[in-house]
Structure 1
Amino acid sequence: MSKKLFQASCLSAAIIVAPCAMAIPTEAASMPFNDIKNGGSEAELYKAVQELYSKGIVFGTTNTMFSPYQSLTRGEAAYFLAKALNLETKKVENPGFTDVPTSHPYYGPIAALATKGIIQKGANYHPDQFIKRSQMAKILTLGFDLQKSTTLTAPFSDFTKDNETNQYIQTLLDYGITQGTSSTTFSPYSDVRRGQMVLFLYRLLEKNDGSFYVIGVE
């Protein structure tokens, strides 16, 4: 498995944005959402949502709304990431989460991430809880097989001492995928917004030589 992601030398701008019915496309589709503007501060977000939606990687909260500033659930995050990585979600080993039965709408993506070691197996996954920024940093680093940073250089006062997630956060900073919520904070325990996750995935996939599917690409 070859990963062509390269490490950025500086931070790129990241949008810092203030549960749902799925509107998942069954095939390539144009941008149907009217709650994101194609211009101004939302220009990159619009492009990212349009591109990833057309690839079947992300979905809206309704047929006409993406709800980019709404918190992202752990189940939605699993779906987005598994689709971005083009993981097999049908024939997967059951990770044994008691709150994710095989009938759960996100069972396949969650099981696929657990099989790859991107998320940890345990008693529960809590698919309806909101994913935090520190958790997001970890699954993106592991999912895209990024070279994990070993030195903490970010000036964040809310880095928790000896917390392993600091290294995953620093990794995304070094790759230019995100930045802090301020010059001195990352807010690791704040919710990830739906629009933020799309931007993070879009930037990572763009760095992979424009390929929207990275698993299995030589």
Structure 2
Amino acid sequence: MKRGIGVITTVIFSVCLFGQAVNCSAATSAQPFTDISSSFAKEAIIDLYTKNIMNGTSTSTFSSTKPITRAEFTKSLDTLLGLDSVTSAVSPFTDVPESAWYYGWIQTALQLGIANGTSASTFSPTKSVTRQEAAQLLVRALRQTTVSSADAEGFKDAGIIAGWAKPAVASAKKLGLLMGDNAGNFRPNDSITRAEAAVMLDRVLLNAKWSAELKPVMNDSIRLGWQYGQTTAEFEQTVLQSNVNTLSPRWYFIGPSGTITDNTDKSLVTWANRNNKKIWAMVGNRSDQKLTHMMLSDSTARATVVNSLVSAVASNGLAGLNIDFENVAPEDRTSFTTFITELKTKLSAINAVLAVNVSPDLGTDWTDAFDYAALGKQADYIVMMGYDEYWSESETAGPNASLTYVSNAVEKLRQSVADNKIVLAMPTYLIDWTLNSDGNVASASYMTMKEQNEKISSFSLRPVWDENLGQYTVQFTSIGAKHRLWVEDGRSLTAKYRLIADTKLAGWAVWYMGAESVDIWTSLRNAEKYYGYKF
């Protein structure tokens, strides 16, 4: 369809939203709806329908003059942005049933901060969208910095524009997305019709810069998943359902006198090559501080381990190694860096990657062995294990990976390591805290995301979002005992992913594959796409 001012066979001048003139050509194909022939938004409706951004209210009608609902407008914004519906098991809204057609679309917008509820527990999906709400939603969806509300004062009815809406109204006006009527009024509390919404959304597509951004692009960032507790066949099936492009099976562990245990599964190597996946095999120390010290402090044993690992990479055609040494003694700080330096030198000779996992630096001896700066210079990637803020032995209940905790961990690492070398690892597990009547911890046990969702479903729980923590929290009573969860789901992972996008880190990882709820892959795919736009 050709659009704009020009000499064409037939030129139709339509008066668009509240008197704003737009030139549109006739559709080159049959009209999809029987009730849009005389609509000022006909060309916008046809364009959006063709691009599967807006549908009709039936197979033959569009209902141009009908107010658009919050659910309908939310879905249209999602599809305009090329996002997918997320069927998350975790929702705070009592008025958004999982069986509703709009459930997943509302989840998508909520997770990305495009749309919020009308309260902590309601979304009001069938409520009409007002003009000032439409301005805010669209400006937010395009991630536009709101301008001074002074521009909104130019409307005759500026006094009735809500204070929270004025910056967005001013931005929408400046961007040419939503204007006033011919009398100079904005009419902020009027419901916006489906035709008016179509014109608004189509104006985004008519902006050459925005339209170009919305075209699909290949994102080649690192998406790493650890194998844990799954057979090779189970792991492969999980990977196929995910966005993961780099596999880290737990194949190698150091042993006495510089030996390593080798659990290489060549069938996974063959499968990975066939499915265009890389393997960075994990090398662990089983948190054995004494054995690790013996290897690191003995140059002969260290060289034996290095040679054995390099030989395994070369003979099995692996893309690299992922070093996961934990509970390393502080006095082994220098020798651990030496080990990484020696290993990297030999891996470079065969064009293999070296990644090193580190824990957040909390000023304790748990991380004293990690010289962030030195390791960052030697290794290709540093994987920040962004979890274990609280653990099952903690005396106080708390989140496994709050946004504040993860953000602080990443920021501290960034002071020593280049952004394009950092991979943020996120958890697919959490802790189920059992509390005494006084609120103190009675017991704690680890729980997978799948188990968490089953609990939320079986108890019909409505979690409450904590903006500062970037997580839902929920409490319930089971067999007379009080429980508390800090939830991990698509929304919490999306909040963590934004740290990656904002700082342009190398990618993400998840510990561990198989514990997740499958909807998180859609959430992360949406986040990569949405936060990758440069509107």
TM-score where L is the length of structure 1: 0.78
Please name the residue that 1:104 is paired with: 100
> Are 1:158 and 1:187, in contact at CA under 8 Å, matched by a contact in 2?
yes
Please name the residue that 1:168 is paired with: 168
1:38-66 Cα deviation digits (max 9, x unpaired): 7xx72xx2221111111111111121111
For 2:162 and 2:68, locate their aligned partners in 1 and report how far apart those are by CA, in whole Å.
27
Please name the residue that 1:147 is paired with: 145
| Residue 33 of structure 1: how far off its partner (Å) | 0.7
Please name the residue that 2:179 is paired with: 179
For 2:196 and 2:189, locate their aligned partners in 1 and report how far apart those are by CA, in whole Å.
15
In structure 2, relative to structure 1, the CA distance for the partners of 1:162 and 1:73 (3 Å cut) is closer
Please name the residue that 2:77 is paired with: 81
For 2:82 and 2:208, locate their aligned partners in 1 and report how far apart those are by CA, in whole Å.
14
In structure 2, relative to structure 1, the CA distance for the partners of 1:85 and 1:57 (3 Å cut) is same
> Are 2:156 and 2:184, in contact at CA under 8 Å, matched by a contact in 1?
yes
In structure 2, relative to structure 1, the CA distance for the partners of 1:53 and 1:162 (3 Å cut) is closer
Please name the residue that 2:221 is paired with: none
Please name the residue that 1:123 is paired with: 121
Identity %: 25
Please name the residue that 1:66 is paired with: 62
Matched, 1:15 2:14: no
> Are 2:213 and 2:533, in contact at CA under 8 Å, matched by a contact in 1?
no
1:14-33 alignment runs, 5 A limit: 14-16=16-18, 31-33=31-33
Please name the residue that 1:56 is paired with: 52
SS at structure 1 position matched to 2:37 = coil
> Which one-letter code corresponds to 2:141 in the other structure?
G
SS at structure 1 position matched to 2:139 = helix
In structure 2, relative to structure 1, the CA distance for the partners of 1:106 and 1:30 (3 Å cut) is farther
SS at structure 2 position matched to 1:153 = helix
> Are 1:97 and 1:124, in contact at CA under 8 Å, matched by a contact in 2?
yes
In structure 2, relative to structure 1, the CA distance for the partners of 1:16 and 1:33 (3 Å cut) is same
Q: Which runs of at least 4 in structure 1 moved beyond 6 Å after TM superposition?
A: none
Consecutive unaligned residues in structure 1, runs of 5 or more: 1-12, 18-28
> Which one-letter code corresponds to 2:81 in the other structure?
L
Matched pairs, number: 191
In structure 2, relative to structure 1, the CA distance for the partners of 1:54 and 1:101 (3 Å cut) is same
For 1:53 and 1:161, locate their aligned partners in 2 and report how far apart those are by CA, in whole Å.
32
1:100-126 Cα deviation digits (max 9, x unpaired): 021111011111111111122421011
1:172-203 Cα deviation digits (max 9, x unpaired): 11011121134331111110100111110110
In structure 2, relative to structure 1, the CA distance for the partners of 1:14 and 1:146 (3 Å cut) is farther
SS at structure 2 position matched to 1:142 = helix
SS at structure 1 position matched to 2:49 = helix
For 2:48 and 2:102, locate their aligned partners in 1 and report how far apart those are by CA, in whole Å.
18
For 1:211 and 1:114, locate their aligned partners in 2 and report how far apart those are by CA, in whole Å.
25
| Residue 153 of structure 1: how far off its partner (Å) | 2.4
In structure 2, relative to structure 1, the CA distance for the partners of 1:100 and 1:153 (3 Å cut) is same
| Residue 212 of structure 1: how far off its partner (Å) | 8.2
For 2:144 and 2:204, locate their aligned partners in 1 and report how far apart those are by CA, in whole Å.
10
Structure of greater Rg = 2
In structure 2, relative to structure 1, the CA distance for the partners of 1:187 and 1:93 (3 Å cut) is farther
In structure 2, relative to structure 1, the CA distance for the partners of 1:108 and 1:158 (3 Å cut) is same
Q: Greater helix share, 1 or 2?
A: 2
> Which one-letter code corresponds to 1:84 in the other structure?
L
TM-score where L is the length of structure 2: 0.33
Q: Greater strand share, 1 or 2?
A: 2
Please give the root-mean-square deviation of Cα atoms over the aligned residues, in Å. Answer: 2.5
In structure 2, relative to structure 1, the CA distance for the partners of 1:151 and 1:118 (3 Å cut) is same
> Are 2:87 and 2:103, in contact at CA under 8 Å, matched by a contact in 1?
no
> Are 1:31 and 1:54, in contact at CA under 8 Å, matched by a contact in 2?
no
Please name the residue that 1:157 is paired with: 156
Please name the residue that 2:190 is paired with: 190
Matched, 1:206 2:202: no
> Are 1:89 and 1:108, in contact at CA under 8 Å, matched by a contact in 2?
yes
In structure 2, relative to structure 1, the CA distance for the partners of 1:35 and 1:96 (3 Å cut) is same
| Residue 86 of structure 1: how far off its partner (Å) | 1.5
> Are 1:14 and 1:178, in contact at CA under 8 Å, matched by a contact in 2?
no
SS at structure 1 position matched to 2:180 = coil
* RCO comparison, higher one (Cα < 8 Å, 6+): 1
Select between 55-64 and 89-98 the one with higher mean Cα deviation: 89-98
For 1:162 and 1:56, locate their aligned partners in 2 and report how far apart those are by CA, in whole Å.
33
> Which one-letter code corresponds to 2:90 in the other structure?
N
| Residue 93 of structure 1: how far off its partner (Å) | 6.5
For 1:180 and 1:174, locate their aligned partners in 2 and report how far apart those are by CA, in whole Å.
12
For 2:213 and 2:54, locate their aligned partners in 1 and report how far apart those are by CA, in whole Å.
12
SS at structure 1 position matched to 2:18 = coil
Consecutive unaligned residues in structure 2, runs of 5 or more: 1-14, 20-28, 216-529
> Are 1:14 and 1:179, in contact at CA under 8 Å, matched by a contact in 2?
no
Residue of 125, 129, 132 corresponding to 2:130: 132
> Are 1:99 and 1:126, in contact at CA under 8 Å, matched by a contact in 2?
yes
SS at structure 2 position matched to 1:152 = helix
